[in-house]
Structure formats: structure tokens, C-alpha cells
A and B are shown apart, each in its own frame.
Chain A
Amino acid sequence: MRIGFTLDGRDVAVDVEPRRTLADVLRDDLGQTGVHLGCEHGVCGTCTVLVDGEPVRACLQLTAQVARRHVRTVAGLEGPDGALDPLQEAFSTERGLQCGFCTPGFLMLLRGALDEDPTVVDDPARLDALLASNLCRCTGYEGIRNAARRARDS
């Protein structure tokens, strides 16, 4: 089946088997290897992308579900001039990553959440509840938490 959607601001159309997930199509057909796969069953959040601004797990979406919608990946966080999104800067400054495998998922989770309501990072309990939707096995989350706060302030 042929599915059209926008990917990081440009129109794309793909021919896909109905069973293929958004994550697989983004990675294999559209070369968006910044979308990582840590579990492929909806638990780890490494595959998180924004669909119409909302964080979703790309491994749990069929590609057909994003027809005519706006998909944003980590590759779309940089400005056209290559300037980093404040979140990307903050993750580096705050040591919010070690191996970096979980990073694209956390970046998209937080980009979506901050766009929706930047005050989410002000209350530690709300922030932890948000971050608890994704897994990181390296950092112990402190740097990720601090990066979220720093990005809100910048």
C-alpha cells in the first residue's frame, strides 16, 4: 500500500506491506537510522518520534496510521543551518547520554512534552513520571533530568 506523510517537514511517500511498522519504514525505507530499536514491543521508548507533535513509539505504529500526518524524528531537531536544538545541547552539557542509544527517544519524548507544556519539567514528580516512559541503561537518568530543565530555561 502507498502511504504519504511528512517527514521532518518534507513530503514522503512509501510503498509498504501493511504489516510494516513506522519504525521499520523510517529506518529501512527512509534511512532514518536515528530512530533506534531497543525492544520492538513498546517498552523502552528508544524509537519515540513525534506524530503531529505527540510522542509515540514508532515500533507500535503501523505505517498506515501516520498517513497524511506529520512525523518528526531526531534528524528534524537541528535547524536548517545545522544549529542544535537546545535539548540536544543540554543533553551534551548535562551528560544526559553515555552510549547514546536511548538518546533520540528521550530527545523526542522531551521535545514533544516541552512543546506541549514546558512546566512539566518544573515539578520533579511530573518530570520523573514523564521520563519513566523511556529506559536508559547507562546514565541513571540524572543527566537526562538536568538536561530537560536546562533546555526549558534556554
Chain B
Amino acid sequence: MTLARVEDRRLVTGRGRFVADLVEPGCLEAAFVRPRVAHADLAGLDVTVARSMPGVHAVLTADDLGGVDDVPALFGGDDLPPWRPLVVDRVRHAGEPVACVVADDRHRAEDAAGAVVPDLRELPGRPDAATALAADAPLYDGHRDVVLDQELGEPVAEATWADAAVVVETDLRQQLLAPTSLEARAILVRPEPGGLTVWCSHQYPHALRDGLAAALGLDTGAVRVVVPDVGGAFGGKSPTFPEYVVVAVAAQRLRRPVRWVEDRTEALWAATRGRGQAQRLRMAADAEGRITAIDLHVDAAIGAHPVGAGIPVQTGLAASGAYAVPEVHARIRAVLTTTAPTFAYRGAGRPEAAYAVERGVDLLARRLGLDAVELRRRNLVRDFPHDTPTGRRYDSGDYAAALDRALELLEPDTWRAEQARRRDEGGRPLGVGVACYVERSGGEPGILEEYAVVEARGDGGFVAGVGTSSTGQSHETVFPALVAGVLGVAPDRVRLVEGDTAAVPEGHGSFASRSLQMGGAALHGAAGALVVAARERAAADWGVDVAHVGWDGGTLRSGERETSVAALAPLCAEHRFSSPPAFPYGVYGAVVEIDPELGSVDVLRLVAVDDYGTVVDHGVVHGQTLGSLTQGLGQALYEDVPLDADGVPRLEQGLLDYLLPTAAEIPPLRLDETAVPAPDNPLGAKGAGEAGCIGVPPAVVNAVADALDGVPGADPSLLAMPLTPATVWNALWGGAR
């Protein structure tokens, strides 16, 4: 089933309302002062000229934020360094805001921001975990640089390594990525008597409500967060950012609405990044090709504020991949660096794990002289539920069926024949790569629940409220249809309310591919509960047993008696759904060709077979696959936040330096799905948002390594994402030229 999208009419006519589009009388605009140094003492800050400039209403610095609490931590580690909304005395990443100018319009705000003069005394930076671990003083006095050091699973026994037929060991790098939703961050805060109304481009409005209330010392009930249209998020819009706290303070102090719309340059310099791991992988297998052990050590560059320190733990939890492996161990360290915070980006910890494991499987296959697909097949998990040594319980699936289907689409035998021909007769190096993945959707304890309410109205309509928050995933289309299906009414009789903390009292937003699996299940439950409540009400009114009251598309009947549910309005029912996470999975395949002179990679075919459990709207799910695999291609081949020796991003030309895939970069695709239902929610659904980001990078890199395998002198170990022409060329020539 694919429904016509309800949200499209306003979006194709330019009548969408994003935060930047909202018209709020008297609204002022904010701009931040962001030094382009990675690490420096802030010895002074001269704002006198800026304060006197035309149209400027306020220039806020850390001195003005005395009564304001720290930026709330999303990650609950102990001994975390404080995160002040504006820099107090030391800049710890390029673009970290030291002051905020509020003016009549953005031009004047930026003019004045340019007139703020910080006195900066530069310090050596620590761009990555290795540099940070070697630094002689901590980044924050009195706080450890390693904010998290966690082991998952038991250490692999020495005997296992000793007894293995092969052991492979490799260092892998996950580059930093900029999530780059096309609408960057944006917030508008209007002061209210005793509180605030906040419009924000956000994934988690209830957490933002709580975070702003905590920072400003307000009751949660005094803060209302409304999420209007959101131009993409991909994980980068869940935290309560320091800028949001500052804008809220400015609105309170000036008693005027204040808006901040992040521009692209700011986003590339100072918004959160994803990935950013240095990995050391060790894997063992016996002579029959059974994987006996995986050991994964991750040092995550977590940035200057550890808001995302929980993300790399996901990598450890996922370290078994799609395989039944008796011994799996991961050690995860999150290390403070002088870079913008590393946080969730589509996949958030799972792409990092899948990449390591799937690269490792290919290395094992090579050493064993086994076909890499065959090695995978021998090790796939086959019985469910399956408990992994690092603490996951895989819920359901037929992993081997996904592999079979992917091979049908990939046709590896045909390509292998062509590969052999080229190796004999000459021709561009050609390679085939496969990757399996299992990921986790729904979230982690604390957010493995969702709230929904469905109300019958006197006009015959229904209002469905849920605590998720769309950032482009068609909730207005899918959720009303889902509720209508339970109620047995036409979808246009159901209106969705979402992304407004005043209308929906609780919720956990949209990330971790949780919206349908958790929010949809909650709506399903609430709609069912409304039917029960209506039948009970009618039974009481009529003095009959509820068992004798039937529901038929909003009409209640018992014998001769009949009433519409509208006549019982107001009537509403709530439901709180909770469940363990779900585990979507799939198999990706790539065929690549390398131009030996340029080092460029041409993807000739990309295959994806994903299993998202039971699919509710095929169009939405297909769109999620396409979007996520495009971002996966970005990581594999193009995207990177390069840093200088101190951690300053080298993105002087903005988006010209940060390469996003365009329509011309999309290879020929062959996509399919299998659908083994999730056992733990009534819809059977698993999350569908992140698959391509997880499956594409290892498939593509494995294919490129395979292509290099046949080239004398080439060194596939020199491959690292993104596979730029320079990187591939260097690996092709064995680093010798």
C-alpha cells in the first residue's frame, strides 16, 4: 500500500511553514560569534562597539548567563564537564559560540557579531582520540578526557585466538560526517507571562521542553514546544543545544520574540557530527570458516562536549553483526577532542559496527581462501530469538533468505566471470562486495515507550495525538490511516496532532527509527482503546452488557439501538506502548569499477534487500531506503569533515568542500524487501530509517578492496572512507607512487 501524502499540498506550493518562515510580530534575529580556532583561552571579549551598532538590542556573553543552568546532558555519565551555553574562558572547538547578538534583522545581527572582538590565546588542539589520549593535560581541569570506557561481552579467551585457523587484525577509521539536513537548526522563542512558547526544528520536542525548562529554572508546564515543518534532521536535531538556551534567555530578557536560523556555514563548523571512530578489529575463524571470535576496540572522538557519548556504545552492542559468534567482546572509549560534538547521525553507532565486522569477514575469507558470501552464509544467525555475547536479543528474521534474494539481484557469478576476463585480458579493475547487517530500531531503555491518545469529536471526526515528531517521514499520511484502519472509518476523518507539547503531554520524538514501531503501535493501541471506551459508554447509557454493543466504523449498535460515536463526544482514550527494541536486517551488494588513472570509483550496481518487518506504507519505506542508501554512498565515497592539526574543519568553501551525493551520483539500483514480522509490537513493524547508511559503506568498500585484490602491487589496507580518487589511487599503486 502507498498512500497519497497529506503533507504534500503545502510543501509543493511553497506554503510549508519552517521556523524561518514563521511570522511573529516584533521578532528579533540572533547571530552567534564563533571563533574559528579549535582550542584557545578566551582572555577577553570586547562587545562595546557591537552593542552600540544600529539595530542591536543585546549582545549576550557568558557574563550575562549567571543564573542560567548548564546545557542539559543527554548522556548520563558521571564526572561530565559542565557545558555552558556560551564560552566562559576557553574555546574548545571551532565555532563554539562566545557571544550572541540580537538585532532587528539577521544582517544587522551579523554586522554586530563581526564587531565583537574576542582576545584568544591559542592552545594546541586534539583533533582525534589518539592525540587527545596523548595530551599532557585534560581538556577540562579536574575532569577526565575519557568520559566513557565500557566493555561489552567477556574478553575473548587467549586459547580462542591460539586455536583459530586464521586471525585477522585491522585498523579502521570512521570519518566525521556532517548530517546536513538541508534546513539547518532553527528556533523561535516567544516569551509568555511566566513561560515560553518555542517553535523549533526538532526531533524530540518533549526533551527540548524539559531541557529548556531545566536550564532556565522554569516549570516544564511553562514551556510549550511546537515543531512546525522540519527540513530533515537525520539525528542532528535532538539535543537541547546551547544556542537554544541562549535564544530563550534573550527572549526572556528583551521581552520580545527572538529567532535564530543557523546558516550553512555555522552548521558545517559548529553543528554536531556523526561517526568519528578509530577502530581496531580482531576476528578469528576455524578452518571450516566458522567465526569463533570478534574483538572490537573503539576510540570515539566525542568532541568538546560529550552529549553523544552514549552513541559509540551502540557500536559495541552491535559488534556481533548478523552472525552467531560464540565470543564477542567490545571495548568502547569516548574521548574528548577539540571538535564540535559528535552525536547521532543516521545509523548512530550501527554503521560503525557493521563496517568493522563486514570488512573483517572479507579479510577472513581472503585468508581462508573461501568465498566471502559463503563465509557469511555459514555464520548467519538462524534461530530466534538469538542472544549475542554483547547483550542484544535479535528478535526475528530469516537472514539467509535476505542473502539469497540479494544474490539473485546482484548476480555475482556474472560479474566474477567479467572480473576474471579483465584480469586475464586487461581492463579496468572490477570488484564485487557484499555486506550483511542487523541493526536496532525503537531506541534504548528510557525511550522504549510511546504515548498516544485518540479522541472522538462531536463533528464526527477523530483527533489522534502521538509523542513522535515528523521530520519528513509522512506521519500525517500514515498515522491517520493507521488509526482509521482500526476505527473502520475513512482516513480523512482522522487528524494527526504531533510535535506540540501543549497538545500531546508526553512523548519521545522521532529518531532511532522508532516512529512507526513505537508511535504507530501506541496509536494502534489508543484507537483500539477508544473503541472499547465507546462501547462501554454506550452500554452504560443503554443499560446493556458491553458484550452486546458492537462498533462499526464509528457507529455503535445494540439490538435496535444505534448511536454515532460523535454523540458520545468528548470521548478519548490513551495508550502507552512499550516493548523491547526490534532488529531490522538486510544484505547489501555492490559492483564497482575503478579508473586506474584517476582512482575514481564507478558503482555499476547497488543491491539492497532489507527486512523492516511488516510494512505499513510501502512508499514511505522505499523512500527511507533510497534516502539512507544515498547517505551511505556519501559516507563511502564523498563525505568527510577534514580537520587541521588542531581540529579546525577545513571546509572554507562550505558545501563546495563537503560533497553530498547529487542525482548524478546515484548508481543503478536493485532493491527488494523481505518481511518477517517483528514479534514485539502489534504492527509487526521494525524501523526503516537507517538501513542504507549501515549496509552501503561496507558493501562498497568490500567491492573496491575486491577490485584491488587482482591488481599486482595494490594494497587494499590503504583504503579508508571516503574512497576519494586520491585514496583509491594510492591504494591501487600500493602507496608506492
Let me know if A92 is at the binding interface, CB within 8 A: yes
Q: Report B590-628 residues with CB < 8 Å from chain A CB.
A: 619, 622-623, 626-627
Chain A residue numbers with a CB within 8 Å of B229 are 99-100
What 6 A-B pairs are tightest by C-beta distance, nearest first?
A: A34-B14, A99-B472, A101-B231, A100-B11, A140-B626, A131-B663
In the complex, what's the smallest C-beta–C-beta distance from A137 to chain B, in angstroms?
Answer: 5
Chain A residue numbers with a CB within 8 Å of B21 are 27, 33
- Tell which of B7, B13, B107 has the most Cβ of chain A within 10 Å: B13
- Nearest A residue to B6, CB-CB: A92
State which of A19, A43, A78, A134 has its C-beta within 8 Å of the C-beta of B13: A78
In the complex, what's the smallest C-beta–C-beta distance from B563 to chain A, in angstroms?
Answer: 38
- Nearest B residue to A142, CB-CB: B626
Query: Is the pair B180, A99 in contact by a Cβ cutoff of 8 Å?
Result: no
Query: Is the pair B182, A46 in contact by a Cβ cutoff of 8 Å?
Result: yes
Contacts A28-B105, A132-B664 known; A95 to B181 CB distance under 8 Å? no
State which of B2, B15, B107, B472 has its C-beta within 8 Å of the C-beta of A138: B472
Let me know if A12 is at the binding interface, CB within 8 A: no
Query: Is the pair A129, B182 in contact by a Cβ cutoff of 8 Å?
Result: no
Interface residues on B, range: 35 or more
Q: Report B55-110 residues with CB < 8 Å from chain A CB.
A: 105, 107
Let me know if A44 is at the binding interface, CB within 8 A: yes
Query: Is the pair A98, B654 in contact by a Cβ cutoff of 8 Å?
Result: no
Let me know if A102 is at the binding interface, CB within 8 A: yes
Query: Is the pair B180, A88 in contact by a Cβ cutoff of 8 Å?
Result: no
A131–B664 Cα distance when bound, in Å, is 8
A144–B661 Cα distance when bound, in Å, is 14
A-facing mask of B467-506, CB < 8 A → 1, else 0? 0000111100000000000000000000000000000000
A44–B183 Cα distance when bound, in Å, is 11
Let me know if A74 is at the binding interface, CB within 8 A: yes
Contacts A97-B8, A100-B229, A140-B626 known; A43 to B655 CB distance under 8 Å? yes
Contacts A/B (CB < 8 Å), 26 sampled: A20-B107, A24-B107, A28-B105, A33-B14, A33-B21, A35-B14, A36-B231, A39-B264, A41-B654, A44-B655, A73-B14, A75-B13, A78-B13, A92-B4, A97-B5, A99-B230, A99-B231, A101-B231, A102-B231, A131-B663, A131-B664, A133-B662, A134-B662, A136-B182, A141-B663, A142-B669
Let me know if B156 is at the binding interface, CB within 8 A: no
Query: Is the pair A95, B182 in contact by a Cβ cutoff of 8 Å?
Result: no
Q: Report A30-53 residues with CB < 8 Å from chain B CB.
A: 31-41, 43-44, 46
A19–B622 Cα distance when bound, in Å, is 44
Q: Report A65-100 residues with CB < 8 Å from chain B CB.
A: 73-75, 77-78, 84, 88, 91-93, 95, 97-100
- Nearest B residue to A17, CB-CB: B107
- Nearest B residue to A88, CB-CB: B12
Chain B residue numbers with a CB within 8 Å of A40 are 263-264
- Nearest B residue to A46, CB-CB: B182
Let me know if A135 is at the binding interface, CB within 8 A: yes
Query: Is the pair B626, A38 in contact by a Cβ cutoff of 8 Å?
Result: no
State which of A28, A31, A92 has its C-beta within 8 Å of the C-beta of B5: A92
Chain B residue numbers with a CB within 8 Å of A24 are 107
Contacts A34-B14, A43-B654, A142-B626 known; A135 to B662 CB distance under 8 Å? yes
- Nearest B residue to A94, CB-CB: B619
Chain B residue numbers with a CB within 8 Å of A133 are 662
- Nearest A residue to B654, CB-CB: A41
Chain A residue numbers with a CB within 8 Å of B631 are 137
Let me know if B656 is at the binding interface, CB within 8 A: yes
Query: Is the pair A39, B630 in contact by a Cβ cutoff of 8 Å?
Result: no
- Tell which of A33, A100, A128 has the most Cβ of chain B within 10 Å: A100
Chain A residue numbers with a CB within 8 Å of B231 are 36, 38, 99-102
State which of B7, B626, B665 has its C-beta within 8 Å of the C-beta of A100: B7
- Nearest A residue to B18, CB-CB: A101
Contacts A99-B231, A144-B663 known; A137 to B8 CB distance under 8 Å? no
Let me know if B16 is at the binding interface, CB within 8 A: yes
In the complex, what's the smallest C-beta–C-beta distance from A18 to chain B, in angstroms?
Answer: 12
Query: Is the pair A98, B627 in contact by a Cβ cutoff of 8 Å?
Result: yes
Let me know if A143 is at the binding interface, CB within 8 A: yes
Q: Report B507-557 residues with CB < 8 Å from chain A CB.
A: none
Let me know if B566 is at the binding interface, CB within 8 A: no
Query: Is the pair B472, A98 in contact by a Cβ cutoff of 8 Å?
Result: yes
Query: Is the pair B182, A38 in contact by a Cβ cutoff of 8 Å?
Result: yes
Given contacts A43-B655, A97-B11, A137-B232, 11 further A-B contacts (CB under 8 A): A39-B654, A41-B656, A44-B655, A92-B12, A99-B229, A100-B472, A102-B231, A107-B12, A128-B664, A129-B664, A141-B666
Query: Is the pair B8, A92 in contact by a Cβ cutoff of 8 Å?
Result: yes
A-facing mask of B648-688, CB < 8 A → 1, else 0? 00000011100010111110010000000000000000000
Q: Report B6-55 residues with CB < 8 Å from chain A CB.
A: 7-9, 11-18, 20-21, 23
Let me know if A103 is at the binding interface, CB within 8 A: yes
A36–B234 Cα distance when bound, in Å, is 19
Chain B residue numbers with a CB within 8 Å of A144 are 663
Query: Is the pair B182, A44 in contact by a Cβ cutoff of 8 Å?
Result: yes
Query: Is the pair B12, A140 in contact by a Cβ cutoff of 8 Å?
Result: no
A38–B20 Cα distance when bound, in Å, is 11
Let me know if A145 is at the binding interface, CB within 8 A: yes
Chain A residue numbers with a CB within 8 Å of B180 are 137
Let me know if B731 is at the binding interface, CB within 8 A: no
Query: Is the pair A99, B181 in contact by a Cβ cutoff of 8 Å?
Result: yes
- Nearest B residue to A144, CB-CB: B663
Let me know if B699 is at the binding interface, CB within 8 A: no
In the complex, what's the smallest C-beta–C-beta distance from B603 to chain A, in angstroms?
Answer: 13
A139–B472 Cα distance when bound, in Å, is 10
- Tell which of B9, B23, B180, B655 has the most Cβ of chain A within 10 Å: B655
B-facing mask of A9-28, CB < 8 A → 1, else 0? 00000000101100010011
State which of B12, B627, B669 has its C-beta within 8 Å of the C-beta of A91: B12
